[in-house]
Chain A
Amino acid sequence: MAKQLLMGNQAIALGAIRAGVKVVTGYPGTPSTEVLETVAEENNGNVYVEWSVNEKSALEVAAGAAYSGARSMVTMKQVGLNVASDPLMSLAYIGVKAGMVILVADDPGPISSQTEQDTRHFAFYSKLPVFDPSTPEEAYTMIGDAFDYSEKYQTPVLFRPTTRLCHGCAAIETDSTVADKPVEGFIKDTSKWVIFPKTTYRNHIKIEERNPKIGEDFSSYKGNSLTGDGKKGIATGGVCYQYVKEALSMLSADGDCKLLKLATVHPFPETLALSFFDGLEEVLVVEELDPVIEKQLIFLCGKHGIKLTIHGKLDRFAPTAGESSVELCLSMLSKFLGKTAPALAARTAPPPLPVRPPVLCAGCPHRASFYTVKRAMKGRKAVFSGDIGCYTLGNAMPLDMVDTCLCMGAGITVAQGIHRAEPDTVNFAFVGDSTFFHTGIPGILNAVYNQTKIVVMVLDNSTTAMTGHQPHPGTGMTMMGEIAQKISIPDMLRAMGVTSVEVVDPLDLKETEAAVRRAAECEAVSAVICKSPCIAVTKPKPSYTVDAEKCTNCKVCIKQLGCPAIVKGEGKAEIDRSLCYGCGICEGICPFGAIGGEK
């Protein structure tokens, strides 16, 4: 088949289909989302695909399928594994029958995440094997290897790509064969599938006996390699291997040192690492996130009484945070190898560059929701707890309406803690529709049960917007393209015991403000659902314009809304027609009636 341009995540998906995967579950999260989407798009009719309500549910569904002999994969971003860590830790003891891959995408930088956590630690913690591909091409075949190892050792395995691999594209030659993996079905065996202290003890012994064998197996795994020669050696893995290769080539130092590429850091391939050490005096470890390879090499030196200098993050030879790059590798490698990096062209300093923090899109209904809550609470002592999603961007000036943001679902519960510490505040919790289903529900139950007065603002834009518009239980669509029963957020709130539930259109500023005031006066937990679809799933309306005759340049529209389509013009406000979606909220706030829709 001809080569096609595939994103790393697409390559992983096609590789999984080729490996005969039967059940794929997940929860959207940058940079992992496109893996599951691609499996759904390229579905040959033999794969069941679902967006689960959260990562814990997703991992458990995939586990059940693997118990039954169907190859399964679950996808998530790194923080998703925190949510799924409960089943992960137990499943590690139970094991699987058919191959099961837990795909967890890490995000060095971080570019679009709340943590810089390293999933390789989870591999050590849960005692599971982990695969770390370095290019989309390699990921395409490595995902198949991951299924094979999983089946060979009857254990789930972790597969950990990082952002630059997930969202990098490469020309890849794919084949359309699909491994024939008949599903045996669930065979009852309580000694195997039911976790008990006795089972855990017995399996713990087996796991500790098994892992050194997998490490030995990994020493000859084709994803790991040892090349070059010399007294200096570089150990690396993942996308950093590519940066190191590029830097070596720019320094004309290819083959001047030993180069160890590790695609499997747990169980650690000790035999391979020992042959890397052979003849070396000094080692540099290049890796993103935490010094995982570095610590393993230091451990190995101690274990075998080897005297070596090992540089990396621990001795601050390498930066401890942020993503790596060719430039960073050039600077580290030139120092390590005693070479001179090519000089860059000198330039004069540019004029001050515009600062562009991410903001809510022009036309985003969340802007109206935040604006009205801010207005309704003007002069009141109120704290606004936010959550994870597009609406985190309500923190940007001038809205400035996110006082806390921690993790999925935490806005609702953090608001309760603040209220207990400071009962005279009005505590608002903003939560999106997908986050409501993900982890918002237990927090609301907690507030109702413990009678903690908070106002829950559900910003329902009918999609999972930040990650690229995935369906969820409230949309009435599944990832298999089927129509499902729409789960009603107001009905759920009422069923959980929230007595004051109002549904409003946030673009109707007056109605929304009045509803927010009523909710804030309520003596029990109250909720306002601001229902208006994301601009990306609706057609734009005609754009609005500023009547230059009427505009007094008071800048109220700019200072109160922060809409990217409204800009400071020549002594007047201007609306950029290429950005305006026609939401019309600016018309409602202009004190001079200078903004209007197309006539």
Chain B
Amino acid sequence: MINCLLTGVGGQGTVLASKLIAQCAINEGLNAKTAETIGMAQRGGSVVSHVRIGEDIHSPLIPLGAADIIIGFEPGEAVRSLPYLKKGGTVIVCGKAIKPTTDSLSETSYSGEDMLAYLLSEEQNVIVIDGEEICRKCGSAKVLNTALLGAAAKSGTLGFSAEQFKSAMEMKIKEKFLQMNLEAFELGADAVDK
């Protein structure tokens, strides 16, 4: 069984990423379940997608302490979801913080660096990705999801190869955006070795 939690801020594209992982599973004849945040929380709130692969899965939501991997689209959101990670699990995280309006209005200052430092102090397998740089290279902020998937695939935790992900992307991403997303996926994978 593989449990993957994707976490971020509404609008970052976690839903498509979770669908791509589940599609890989289905293409391999495996059972998959996902659960998404849809509705009001999508408007700039914290969102999570749960992806569960394997037999004998009951709950659509991953229990606390059971995730093999957390894919954090934002450092603070990765920290918020850390209780879901199992011992020795992997964290893939985009280093760029998204500051909420509540922070800009207050005297305190939310820092992504503090969040990354916390993740690195708590967990052994943390891979920080410069998602902003990859998005700039690909010319769109919308490819953060496929960039992080590239990194997750490279980490080996999900159990699917780059080729398997690419065929899932071909099935689920519109033709005119496909090339850009394939490039982001490659750049994400390359970033793991750096």
Contacts and interface: CB of A to CB of B under 8 A. Distances in A.
Interface of A: 2-5, 30-31, 111-112, 164-165, 167-171, 239, 242-243, 245-246, 249-250, 325-327, 330, 342, 344-345, 347-348, 350-361, 390, 393, 396-398, 466-468, 555, 558-559, 562-564, 566-568, 576-579
B46 interface: yes
Contacts of A112: 38-41
B140 to A, nearest CB: 9
B156 interface: no
Nearest to A168: B60
A353 B58 contact: no
Contacts of B59: 242-243, 245-246, 325-326
B104 A566 contact: yes
Contacts, number: 176
A interface secondary structure, majority: loop
A355 B102 CA distance: 7
10 contacts: A2-B26, A167-B36, A168-B36, A169-B32, A171-B26, A243-B58, A347-B82, A357-B102, A398-B105, A578-B132
A167 B35 contact: yes
B65 interface: yes
B34 A4 contact: no
Interface in B35-64: 35-46, 56-61, 63-64
A4 B26 CA distance: 7
Given A344-B64, A578-B132, A578-B135, 19 more contacts: A111-B39, A111-B40, A112-B41, A164-B35, A168-B35, A168-B60, A170-B60, A327-B64, A344-B65, A350-B80, A352-B108, A356-B44, A358-B10, A359-B100, A397-B101, A564-B100, A568-B99, A568-B103, A579-B11
Contact of A356 (B25, B65, B102, B115): B102
Given A250-B63, A355-B100, A350 B79 contact: yes
A353 B79 contact: yes
B100 A345 contact: no
A245 B101 CA distance: 41
Interface string B85-105: 011000000000011111111
B19 A360 contact: no
Contact of A246 (B32, B63, B87, B108): B63
A30 B103 CA distance: 29
B141 A351 contact: no
B32 A5 contact: yes
B37 to A, nearest CB: 8
Secondary structure class of chain B's binding surface, majority of residues: mixed
Contacts of A30: 38-40
B34 A356 contact: no
A279 B33 CA distance: 36
A242 B26 contact: no
Contacts of A4: 26
Contacts of B76: 353-354
Contacts of B98: 576
Nearest to B107: A568
Interface of B: 9-11, 19, 22-23, 25-26, 29-46, 56-61, 63-65, 76, 79-80, 82-83, 86-87, 98-105, 108-110, 114-115, 118, 121-122, 132, 135, 141
Tell me which of A5, A31, A327, A559 has the highest count of chain B C-beta atoms within 10 A of its own C-beta.
A5
A578 B13 CA distance: 13
Contacts of A165: 60
Contact of A327 (B33, B63, B135): B63
A344 B44 contact: no
Given A327-B63, A356-B102, A559-B105, A169 B33 contact: yes
B46 A397 contact: no
B26 A397 contact: no
B101 A562 contact: yes
A397 B42 CA distance: 18
B104 A358 contact: no
A31 B42 CA distance: 13
A562 B44 CA distance: 12
Contacts of A5: 19, 22-23, 26, 32, 34
Nearest to B97: A354
Nearest to B38: A167
Contact of A169 (B9, B22, B58, B61): B22
A168 B102 contact: no
Contacts of B61: 164, 325-326
Given A164-B35, A352-B108, A359 B44 contact: yes
A350 B38 contact: no
A257 B101 CA distance: 50
Nearest to A239: B60
Given A344-B83, A345-B87, A354 B114 contact: no
The 7 closest A-B pairs by CB, nearest first: A112-B39, A578-B141, A168-B60, A30-B39, A245-B58, A246-B58, A358-B43
Contacts of A344: 64-65, 83
Contacts of B34: 5, 168-169
Contacts of B43: 358-361, 390, 393
A563 B102 CA distance: 10
A358 B37 CA distance: 12
A358 B40 contact: yes
B123 to A, nearest CB: 9
B38 A164 contact: no
Nearest to B47: A356
Nearest to A164: B60
Contacts of B99: 354, 567-568
Contacts of B79: 350-351, 353
A361 B118 contact: no
Given A4-B26, A169-B33, A111 B41 contact: yes
A359 B103 CA distance: 13
A170 B54 CA distance: 11
Nearest to B65: A344
B105 A345 contact: no
A330 B43 CA distance: 32
Contacts of B26: 2-5, 171
A351 B58 contact: no
A261 to B, nearest CB: 12
Nearest to A33: B38
Contact of B122 (A171, A325, A348, A576): A348
A165 B118 CA distance: 34
Contacts of B19: 5, 169
Contacts of B23: 5
Contacts of A250: 63
A562 to B, nearest CB: 5
Contacts of B10: 358
A2 B25 CA distance: 13
Contacts of A467: 39
Contacts of A398: 101, 105
A3 B115 CA distance: 40
Contacts of B40: 30, 111-112, 358, 393, 466
